[in-house]
Amino acid sequence: MTKADLINEVSKKTGIEKVIVKETVEAFMDAIKDSLKSNSNVYLRRFGSFVVKKRAEKTARNISKNTTIVIPEHFIPSFKPSKMFIEEVKDNVK
């Protein structure tokens, strides 16, 4: 499902115009991004959590040049589904 598909689905189920739904979905995504940028996790009960994960510094190899490089410590966004969400998907995927 794409963002456009999601907007169409929400619009159909709620009867709200697609333009308003699009603005709402984009505002929702912006709020999550802004929260993660400020190192605040987002918890949505019965759905999941958007969290910032810390990746430690590590040494890697560039195979084509046969050199070693250091990848510095960095942070990445991550989504962890709730247990209820996982169970619903397990039970309903065919």
Q: Are residues 76 and 89 in the same domain?
A: yes
| Number of structural domains found in the chain | 2
pLDDT higher than threshold 80 for residue 94 = no
Q: What range does the domain containing 28 cover?
A: 1-40
Express each pLDDT in 17-63 by its tens digit: 999 999 999 999 999 999 999 999 999 999 999 999 999 999 999 88
Burial of 8 (C-beta count, 10 Å sphere; 0-12/13-18/19+): middle
Q: What is the CA angle 13-19-22, rounded to 5?
A: 75
* Same domain flag for 14 and 46: no
d(CA 55, CA 14): 40
Residues 71, 58 contacting (CB under 8 angstroms):
yes
User: Angle at which helices 3-14 and 18-37 pack, to 10 degrees?
Assistant: 120
18 with 46, same domain? no
Q: Does the pLDDT of residue 92 top 90, yes or no?
A: no
